[in-house]
Amino acid sequence: MIKTFYSKIRIALALIILLVIIAVLVTSQFFWKVLYPIPYKDIIWQHATETGLDPYFIASIIRTESNFVPRALSKSGAIGLMQLMPNTAKWVADKVELKIAKNEDLYDPNTNIKLGTFYIKHLLNKYNNNTAMALAAYNSGMGRVKEWINEGIWNGSISTANEIPYDETRHFVRKVLRSYEVYTSLYGR
Protein backbone atom coordinates (compact mmCIF):
# COMPACT_ATOMS: atom_id res chain seq x y z
CA MET A 1 0.00 0.00 0.00
CA ILE A 2 2.82 2.43 0.80
CA LYS A 3 4.58 1.38 -2.44
CA THR A 4 1.46 2.23 -4.43
CA PHE A 5 1.19 5.58 -2.68
CA TYR A 6 4.80 6.50 -3.53
CA SER A 7 4.34 5.29 -7.12
CA LYS A 8 1.37 7.61 -7.49
CA ILE A 9 3.38 10.50 -6.05
CA ARG A 10 6.22 9.84 -8.52
CA ILE A 11 3.76 9.76 -11.42
CA ALA A 12 2.14 12.99 -10.21
CA LEU A 13 5.53 14.70 -9.88
CA ALA A 14 6.56 13.50 -13.34
CA LEU A 15 3.34 14.93 -14.78
CA ILE A 16 3.87 18.25 -12.98
CA ILE A 17 7.43 18.47 -14.32
CA LEU A 18 6.20 17.61 -17.82
CA LEU A 19 3.52 20.32 -17.60
CA VAL A 20 6.10 22.88 -16.45
CA ILE A 21 8.38 21.96 -19.36
CA ILE A 22 5.48 22.25 -21.83
CA ALA A 23 4.47 25.62 -20.34
CA VAL A 24 8.03 26.93 -20.67
CA LEU A 25 8.28 25.72 -24.27
CA VAL A 26 4.92 27.16 -25.33
CA THR A 27 5.78 30.57 -23.91
CA SER A 28 9.30 30.71 -25.35
CA GLN A 29 10.00 32.64 -28.52
CA PHE A 30 12.44 29.96 -29.63
CA PHE A 31 9.64 27.38 -29.68
CA TRP A 32 7.37 29.63 -31.75
CA LYS A 33 10.19 30.57 -34.14
CA VAL A 34 10.74 26.87 -34.80
CA LEU A 35 7.04 26.57 -35.67
CA TYR A 36 7.06 29.80 -37.69
CA PRO A 37 10.41 29.99 -39.49
CA ILE A 38 11.14 32.24 -42.45
CA PRO A 39 13.15 30.27 -45.00
CA TYR A 40 13.93 32.23 -48.18
CA LYS A 41 13.85 35.39 -46.08
CA ASP A 42 16.08 37.42 -48.44
CA ILE A 43 13.96 36.53 -51.47
CA ILE A 44 10.71 37.24 -49.61
CA TRP A 45 12.01 40.63 -48.39
CA GLN A 46 13.26 41.57 -51.85
CA HIS A 47 9.99 40.93 -53.67
CA ALA A 48 7.75 42.15 -50.85
CA THR A 49 9.69 45.41 -50.74
CA GLU A 50 9.51 45.77 -54.54
CA THR A 51 5.71 45.48 -54.41
CA GLY A 52 5.18 47.45 -51.20
CA LEU A 53 3.87 44.46 -49.26
CA ASP A 54 4.66 43.31 -45.75
CA PRO A 55 7.18 40.43 -45.97
CA TYR A 56 5.45 38.69 -43.06
CA PHE A 57 2.24 38.63 -45.07
CA ILE A 58 4.07 36.90 -47.94
CA ALA A 59 5.72 34.48 -45.49
CA SER A 60 2.25 33.70 -44.10
CA ILE A 61 0.94 32.84 -47.54
CA ILE A 62 3.94 30.63 -48.28
CA ARG A 63 3.67 28.88 -44.91
CA THR A 64 -0.01 28.19 -45.55
CA GLU A 65 0.34 27.19 -49.20
CA SER A 66 3.43 24.97 -49.13
CA ASN A 67 4.96 25.11 -45.66
CA PHE A 68 8.09 26.43 -47.42
CA VAL A 69 8.51 23.30 -49.57
CA PRO A 70 9.76 24.61 -52.95
CA ARG A 71 8.83 21.41 -54.85
CA ALA A 72 5.23 21.42 -53.59
CA LEU A 73 2.65 20.35 -56.17
CA SER A 74 -1.05 20.33 -55.38
CA LYS A 75 -3.70 17.94 -56.72
CA SER A 76 -5.07 20.83 -58.78
CA GLY A 77 -1.65 21.48 -60.34
CA ALA A 78 -0.54 24.50 -58.29
CA ILE A 79 3.24 24.68 -58.18
CA GLY A 80 5.97 25.77 -55.79
CA LEU A 81 6.24 27.81 -52.63
CA MET A 82 3.29 30.09 -53.35
CA GLN A 83 1.30 27.36 -55.14
CA LEU A 84 0.82 29.14 -58.44
CA MET A 85 -1.39 27.72 -61.16
CA PRO A 86 0.62 27.59 -64.40
CA ASN A 87 -1.79 29.82 -66.37
CA THR A 88 -1.85 32.43 -63.61
CA ALA A 89 1.95 32.31 -63.36
CA LYS A 90 2.29 32.82 -67.12
CA TRP A 91 -0.11 35.78 -67.01
CA VAL A 92 1.85 37.36 -64.15
CA ALA A 93 5.18 36.57 -65.85
CA ASP A 94 4.03 38.54 -68.91
CA LYS A 95 3.12 41.49 -66.67
CA VAL A 96 6.53 41.53 -64.96
CA GLU A 97 8.37 40.68 -68.19
CA LEU A 98 9.78 37.43 -66.82
CA LYS A 99 10.39 34.51 -69.16
CA ILE A 100 8.83 31.23 -68.04
CA ALA A 101 9.99 28.51 -70.44
CA LYS A 102 8.24 25.62 -68.71
CA ASN A 103 6.19 24.86 -65.60
CA GLU A 104 9.33 23.43 -63.98
CA ASP A 105 10.59 27.04 -63.71
CA LEU A 106 7.91 27.66 -61.07
CA TYR A 107 9.75 25.44 -58.61
CA ASP A 108 12.54 28.02 -58.42
CA PRO A 109 11.99 29.93 -55.14
CA ASN A 110 13.00 33.32 -56.58
CA THR A 111 10.73 32.96 -59.61
CA ASN A 112 7.80 31.61 -57.61
CA ILE A 113 7.98 34.24 -54.87
CA LYS A 114 8.39 37.06 -57.41
CA LEU A 115 5.31 35.94 -59.35
CA GLY A 116 3.23 35.10 -56.28
CA THR A 117 4.03 38.40 -54.60
CA PHE A 118 3.17 40.37 -57.72
CA TYR A 119 -0.08 38.42 -58.07
CA ILE A 120 -1.21 39.00 -54.48
CA LYS A 121 -0.37 42.71 -54.94
CA HIS A 122 -2.51 42.72 -58.09
CA LEU A 123 -5.39 41.17 -56.14
CA LEU A 124 -5.02 43.64 -53.27
CA ASN A 125 -5.16 46.50 -55.79
CA LYS A 126 -8.22 44.98 -57.46
CA TYR A 127 -10.03 44.63 -54.14
CA ASN A 128 -9.03 48.03 -52.70
CA ASN A 129 -6.58 46.47 -50.21
CA ASN A 130 -9.27 44.17 -48.82
CA THR A 131 -7.02 41.40 -47.51
CA ALA A 132 -9.79 38.84 -47.04
CA MET A 133 -11.08 39.24 -50.60
CA ALA A 134 -7.57 39.17 -52.07
CA LEU A 135 -6.71 35.99 -50.17
CA ALA A 136 -10.00 34.34 -51.13
CA ALA A 137 -9.36 35.20 -54.79
CA TYR A 138 -5.78 33.96 -54.51
CA ASN A 139 -7.08 30.61 -53.31
CA SER A 140 -10.27 30.08 -55.28
CA GLY A 141 -10.17 32.60 -58.12
CA MET A 142 -11.58 36.05 -58.79
CA GLY A 143 -14.68 34.63 -60.48
CA ARG A 144 -15.78 32.79 -57.37
CA VAL A 145 -15.22 35.80 -55.12
CA LYS A 146 -17.27 37.95 -57.51
CA GLU A 147 -20.03 35.32 -57.47
CA TRP A 148 -20.10 35.15 -53.65
CA ILE A 149 -20.27 38.93 -53.35
CA ASN A 150 -22.89 39.39 -56.10
CA GLU A 151 -25.10 36.63 -54.71
CA GLY A 152 -24.83 37.98 -51.15
CA ILE A 153 -23.21 34.78 -49.89
CA TRP A 154 -20.28 36.68 -48.39
CA ASN A 155 -19.76 40.43 -47.96
CA GLY A 156 -15.98 40.22 -48.37
CA SER A 157 -14.97 41.33 -44.90
CA ILE A 158 -12.47 39.65 -42.61
CA SER A 159 -15.04 39.59 -39.81
CA THR A 160 -17.38 37.45 -41.93
CA ALA A 161 -14.72 35.16 -43.41
CA ASN A 162 -16.55 32.25 -41.75
CA GLU A 163 -19.27 32.75 -44.37
CA ILE A 164 -16.96 31.89 -47.28
CA PRO A 165 -18.78 28.90 -48.79
CA TYR A 166 -15.71 26.86 -49.78
CA ASP A 167 -14.12 25.08 -46.83
CA GLU A 168 -10.65 25.16 -48.38
CA THR A 169 -10.83 28.89 -49.09
CA ARG A 170 -12.34 29.73 -45.70
CA HIS A 171 -9.59 27.77 -43.92
CA PHE A 172 -6.92 29.28 -46.18
CA VAL A 173 -7.97 32.87 -45.41
CA ARG A 174 -8.16 32.23 -41.67
CA LYS A 175 -4.85 30.33 -41.57
CA VAL A 176 -2.96 33.03 -43.50
CA LEU A 177 -4.34 35.74 -41.23
CA ARG A 178 -3.52 33.72 -38.11
CA SER A 179 0.02 33.06 -39.37
CA TYR A 180 0.40 36.75 -40.16
CA GLU A 181 -0.54 37.65 -36.57
CA VAL A 182 2.02 35.17 -35.22
CA TYR A 183 4.79 36.36 -37.57
CA THR A 184 4.27 40.02 -36.72
CA SER A 185 4.06 39.23 -33.01
CA LEU A 186 7.23 37.10 -33.08
CA TYR A 187 9.43 39.11 -35.41
CA GLY A 188 7.98 42.63 -35.18
CA ARG A 189 6.73 44.83 -37.99
Q: Is 22 in a helix, a strand, or coil? A: helix
Handedness of CA 22, 41, 70, 78 (dihedral sign): positive
Catalytic residue among 50, 65, 104, 168: 65
Residue 56, C-beta contacts closer than 8 angstroms, at least 6 positions apart:
180, 183, 184, 187, 189
- Per DSSP, helices labelled H in 28-108 are 29-35, 41-51, 55-66, 86-95
The DSSP secondary structure of 1-20, one letter per residue, reads -HHHHHHHHHHHHHHHHHHH
> Is 50 assigned a catalytic role?
no
Single-letter code of the amino acid located at 174: R
Catalogue the active-site residues: 65
